[in-house]
Amino acid sequence: MAQEAITPRPSPTAIVTMKYDDTYVKLTYSQPHKRGRDIFGTLVPYGHVWRTGANEATEITLTGNVLMNGDTLKAGTYSIFTIPQKEKWTIIINDELGQWGSYNYHQDSDVMRFDVPVEKTQSVVWEPFTMAFEQKNEEAALLIMWDQTKVSIPIQFLTL
C-alpha cells in the first residue's frame, strides 16, 4: 500500500507571540503570498469580511485581559476577521473558533469591532502576508502587513 506524499500548504501556518508581565499573547494565522497578484480591492475585495490571512480564520489567544483600541478584551481565544477598505479597516474580534475562512462568519458572535486607519507604503512591499507585534513596555500594536498595505491595532496590557 503506497503512502500519499504530504505536501506543504501554499499558505503555511505562522505563529507569533509576545509577553508582558504574566500575560502571553499568541497569534496563529496562515500566510498567503502576493505572487504578483493585486491584493486589496481585487483578491481581497473591499467592504467584505475577510479571514485575515488564508485557510482557517486567524486566532488570537490571551492569558490575561488587555485593552484593544481602548476596550477591554478578556483572556481567552478569539477569531480575528477584518473588513478591508481603502482608507480604513474594520477589525472584528469574534468568539467562534475553528472557522474555515469567513464563510460561516456570524456577526452576532462579535466581541468587539472598531476601525483603524490604513497606511500605504511606497517603497516597502510585503510579499508574504505578515502579522507581527511591536511592543514598548505595556503598550503594543498588532501589525497586519501585505503588499503595500499596513494596519496597526493598538493593544495595552493591564497590570494587576
Domain that holds residue 30: 13-157
**What pLDDT does residue 141 have?**
94
Q: Which residues of the chain have pLDDT under 50?
A: none
Q: Within a domain: residue 117?
A: yes
16: number of Cβ within 10 Å: 16
pLDDT on residue 9: 64
pLDDT score recorded for residue 34: 92
Is 115 part of a structural domain of the chain?
A: yes
User: pTM of the prediction?
Assistant: 0.90
In a domain, 6, yes or no: no
* Res 12: pLDDT: 76
Residue 77 counted as domain residue: yes
pLDDT score of 160: 60
Which pLDDT does position 7 carry in this prediction?
Answer: 65
pLDDT of residue 113: 97
Domains contained in the chain, number? 1
Question: Is residue 59 in a domain?
Answer: yes
